[in-house]
Amino acid sequence: MTTKKEFGNIRGTMFPIHKSELRKFLPMAFMFILISFCYSLTRSLKDMNMLKEAGTTAIYWLKAVAITPSMIFFTILYGKVSRSTGRDGRFNAVMIYFFTFFTLSLLFLLPQKETLQLSNFSKMMEAKWPSLIGLWRAICYWPISLFYIHAEAWGTFALSVVFWTFVNEITGVNQAKRFYSFLSISGAIGSILAGSILKLESIRTNFDQSLQFVIIAIVLLLIVYNYFTSDIKANPAYYQIEKKAKKIKVKMSFMESIRFLAKSRYLTLISILVIGYGLMIALFEAVYKSQVEKYAKMIGDDTILASIYSDQQIAVGIIAIVVALFLATPILKRGWKFAASVTPVTALVMTLLFFTFLRFGSDLDEFLKSMHITALYMAVQIGIYNVVLIKSVKYVLFDPTKEAVYIPLDEETKVRGKAAVDGVGARLGKSLASLLITGMSTLFGGGGIEAIRTPIVLIIITVIILWLLAVRTLGKLKTAAEEKYKAELEEVNKVVVTN
């Protein structure tokens, strides 16, 4: 599969994939479309239901007290599955589990959410402890909360863990430099498709029916994956570009894998990147979603939520494709460190713009009214554009650069370390954000988010600075790991030639 033919300037920027590599690239790309489609649709659905029924503060109480314990439980379960089955077994097990839960949600949990909710309990607890209203509402609407937890888990385990672990196993370092940023285009297409589904009239008036498309996508995903892996087994020489030295695998429990992660400076720095992004985006979206909730209540039309989220998903996809096609390759050519720094720098600029408008936007209220719009409407729009740009850059540059640092690692470090980093680290950042939000809002904001904007923006700036410092150090360790990786490959090749 290797080829010496170089790409021209335009082809090298627009699509640096050799024709002989399409047999590998296209199935991966299609799988990514399906996974991203499910991710974008369930993520929008979970937020729309929570904003409509329980409110913004319920989201962050749920993240503070339920998401991280749930992710730890899922990580333990995934560890047991991965030890008892191979790559195909763990992939299929994850997909079948989510297929079962989303089917149950479509047929029972969400249609019966009003019957199942704990209204009396919630009202009683709100009367006793009104400052914890978000917690009581998360408990009251427990079917929605349970769906929210699983939608979060899909993003972690279906996308970050099993899909990228599979891709890393069959992709070499040299291919990864060309493949990964263009795989993100597939993720962008999935986001656009999800946004398009939310624009359907039947879905705008009944969010929950969008789950039928998620279920169909998971079935297609299982079919494509198993067909693809059967072809890999039938033609191993075609897919395995770079053979790695075999390592002795040691079975580790969840706590052992966490200790293993803590002992590795390399994995710790990856964790800082993942936690940093999760913490930053959760804090940013807390303020943004509070503006969306306020705007939806002012309009008095629940379908506005579908419009906002559909526009956001479509815009994320379109901008991600533009960035991938025209900017990703030039940025990646400047080195891993530069490419990995683009996401935090973009987040910093967008955060400062958004919070500056929230601080001074009311001064423009009279001017905006003359244009028949309000400062609240503009705050929602600016928030949407900021989220779109941050997530677009994240998909095209943050995800590929993060995944690339795993490739030089041995299989044990890659599988166990990745499960620990992505399974717990990704949620830890968001849960830490939720703890900060719920703590500060309860103590200083009367249970709301409006009064704690200043500490939130200061925390975001601090997190981004630490994120950039981690990128700088990890870049040096990555270079050393790749040199060791190449030396091991040369040694393996010498043994093969000798034999």
One-character DSSP codes across 138-182: HHHTHHHHHHHHHHHHIIIIIIIIIIHHHHHHT--HHHHHHHHHH
DSSP string, 118-132: -HHHHHHHHHH-GGG
Q: What is the DSSP letter of 332?
A: H
Residue 205: count of CB within 10 angstroms of its CB = 11
pLDDT at 240 over 60: no
Q: What is the DSSP letter of 335?
A: -
Cα–Cα distance for residue pair 478/403, rounded to 1 Å = 12
Between 345 and 369, the higher pLDDT residue: 345
* 178, amino acid identity: R
Cβ distance 308 to 46 under 8 Å? no
**Which of 115-124, 243-252, 357-366 is least confident?**
243-252
- The owner of tokens 């263009």 is 182
Closest CA to 71 of 154, 159, 134: 154
Cα–Cα distance for residue pair 97/102, rounded to 1 Å = 9
Cα–Cα distance for residue pair 401/429, rounded to 1 Å = 19
Per-residue model confidence (pLDDT) at position 296:
83
- Average pLDDT, whole number, for the chain? 82
Q: What is the DSSP letter of 112?
A: T
Q: What is the DSSP letter of 243?
A: -
* 101, amino acid identity: F
Per-residue model confidence (pLDDT) at position 116:
93
pLDDT at 185 over 60: yes
Per-residue model confidence (pLDDT) at position 4:
43
Cβ distance 98 to 162 under 8 Å? no
3-state secondary structure of 245: coil
Residues recorded for the chain: 499
Between 180 and 454, the higher pLDDT residue: 454
Cα–Cα distance for residue pair 243/173, rounded to 1 Å = 11
The answer for 138, left when phi > 0, alpha when psi is -120 to 50, beta otherwise, is alpha
Position 241 confidence tier, pLDDT thresholds 50, 70, 90: very low
Per-residue model confidence (pLDDT) at position 15:
67
Closest CA to 171 of 474, 406, 418: 406
Cα–Cα distance for residue pair 86/167, rounded to 1 Å = 15
Whole-angstrom distance between the N-terminal and C-terminal Cα of the chain?
22
Position 472 confidence tier, pLDDT thresholds 50, 70, 90: very high
Position 248 confidence tier, pLDDT thresholds 50, 70, 90: very low
State pLDDT tens for residues 199-231.
887 787 787 889 999 999 999 999 999 999 888
How are the residues of the chain apportioned to helix, strand and coil, as percentages rounded to the nearest 5?
85, 0, 15
Position 144 confidence tier, pLDDT thresholds 50, 70, 90: very high
CA angle 69, 70, 76 (to 5 degrees): 90
Cα–Cα distance for residue pair 403/212, rounded to 1 Å = 31
In percent, how much of the chain has pLDDT > 70? Answer: 86
Tell how far CA 110 is from the center of its chain. 24
Tell how far CA 183 is from the center of its chain. 15
Per-residue model confidence (pLDDT) at position 31:
94
Cα–Cα distance for residue pair 144/47, rounded to 1 Å = 10
268: its two tokens: 């710790």
3-state secondary structure of 409: coil
Position 362 confidence tier, pLDDT thresholds 50, 70, 90: confident
State pLDDT tens for residues 292-341.
888 888 887 767 888 888 888 898 888 888 887 788 778 878 889 999 99
Section 382-408 average pLDDT: 84
- Sign of the C-alpha dihedral computed for residues 388, 434, 299 and 446 taken in this order: negative
State pLDDT tens for residues 375-387.
888 888 888 888 8
Position 88 confidence tier, pLDDT thresholds 50, 70, 90: confident
Q: Which helix (H) or strand (E) holds 428?
A: helix 426-444
Cβ distance 183 to 67 under 8 Å? no
DSSP string, 279-319: HHHHHHHHHHHHHHHHHHHHHT-THHHHHHHHHHHHHHHHH
pLDDT at 148 over 60: yes
423: its two tokens: 């399974």
Torsion angles phi and psi, residue 84, rounded to 5:
-95, -15
In percent, how much of the chain has pLDDT > 90? Answer: 26
Cβ distance 293 to 51 under 8 Å? yes
Position 6 confidence tier, pLDDT thresholds 50, 70, 90: low
Cα–Cα distance for residue pair 412/247, rounded to 1 Å = 8
Between 425 and 89, the higher pLDDT residue: 89
* 256, amino acid identity: E
Per-residue model confidence (pLDDT) at position 498:
61
Cα–Cα distance for residue pair 372/394, rounded to 1 Å = 34
- Sign of the C-alpha dihedral computed for residues 289, 291, 294 and 297 taken in this order: negative
Cα–Cα distance for residue pair 349/346, rounded to 1 Å = 5
Q: How far is CA 265 from CA 17, 50, 191, 261, 417, in A?
A: 33, 38, 34, 8, 12
Q: Which residues contact 11 (CB under 8 A, 6 or more apart)?
A: none
Per-residue model confidence (pLDDT) at position 247:
43
Section 149-170 average pLDDT: 86
Section 166-186 average pLDDT: 77
Helix count (H) and strand count (E) of the chain?
26, 0
Q: Which helix (H) or strand (E) holds 7?
A: none
Cα–Cα distance for residue pair 399/190, rounded to 1 Å = 15
State pLDDT tens for residues 42-66.
999 998 899 888 888 888 888 888 8
State pLDDT tens for residues 412-470.
677 677 767 766 666 678 778 888 888 887 777 555 677 788 899 999 999 999 999 99
